[in-house]
Structure 1
Amino acid sequence: MRIPPVVQIQTTPSLLSIDADPGQYSIRQPKAEVQLQTKPSKLTVQSHPIELHVDQRQAFSAYNGGNMIDMNARIYSGIQQNLMQNIAARVEQGNQLAAIHKPGNTIADIVGTNWKAQAFPEIRTSASYDNVDIRINTRPPDISFDPAVSEVNVIVHKPEIDYQRGKLDIHVQQYASIQYTPPAIDMVL
């Protein structure tokens, strides 16, 4: 039995050389800027003075008659009353004289009682504990309040990103190869 010739195949693999360095990231972010402004609160209080009103006209009128216009008005009205009283008294005397026939109605009895002078009208008013009028006017204070106001302004800066690529070297150290070795052929038959 004869074995057929065998072809011999020899392969060499390829060898690659890879040299790689990774890339580098650099990230930097500046701090945010914060601006804060505050308007302080404000309290305003405005007070009003107290008003004191003292009216002593009635007291002065009781002490010394008051002002001339009021005093003259009292004198005038007092004289009118005295005149009316005097007229009434004269009428009464006339009535008594007309009734002279009654005992005790003699001219001496009637006219003899009229020797007193009439009093001058009172120029003062009556005295009282309530002659002085006192009024006190007060007003509440004006209060206004403005609350504090804060304003915050934030400026945010974007991050600064920097990337440096790494190195990548690829080269072939050994190329692939295939060798075919045919069998030896015996030409003899």
Structure 2
Amino acid sequence: MEFLRLSIHQTNAQIGIQTQLAGQDIHSRAGDLSIQQPPAKVEMESPAGELEIDSSEAWAALGKGPHLEWLNSIYSQSKSVALQAIAKMVEDGNRMAQITNHQNAFADLAQDVYQRKNPIEYAGEPSYFNVKVHYQSHSPIINIEPQKAEIQYSPNKPEVQYNPGSVDVYVKQKNAIDIQVSQYDWYK
């Protein structure tokens, strides 16, 4: 007995995809920068210092000071000089009154006259410290006026180039169905 046989064969479709990536080129030049710094304004004032020199004690020590001060110095010594002179007279009188002394008191007193110093001091004591020096300095006056920097910047536009990509879609293999009817012998 002969039967009919149905054969179905299917072929699947295949899709092919081919892509090309997009590209991008960017070039950016540096911007133009200009910086200028004006110098700061500076004003300085330095007041002169004050120097004071007092040499009055030095002149007095040399005996060449002001006349009135010189006379006052002599006058202030006169009381003590007078008291010293009285004391010396008493001492000399006591020496002359000593009869028991074998030395000649009159000759000794005559000799002392030539060796005596003047008890009045007409000049002062010399010293480095007789001249007084005083200096007063003054701080400088400084005014500073800062100046701002002048900054100018000009940006440059970037150069952008775009290369688009592509996608190519195509049928690589078509789909198909093959249907065949054939004879089939069961006993064969």
* Pairwise TM-score range, normalised by the shorter structure: 0.3 to 0.5
Q: TM-score, normalised by structure 1?
A: 0.45
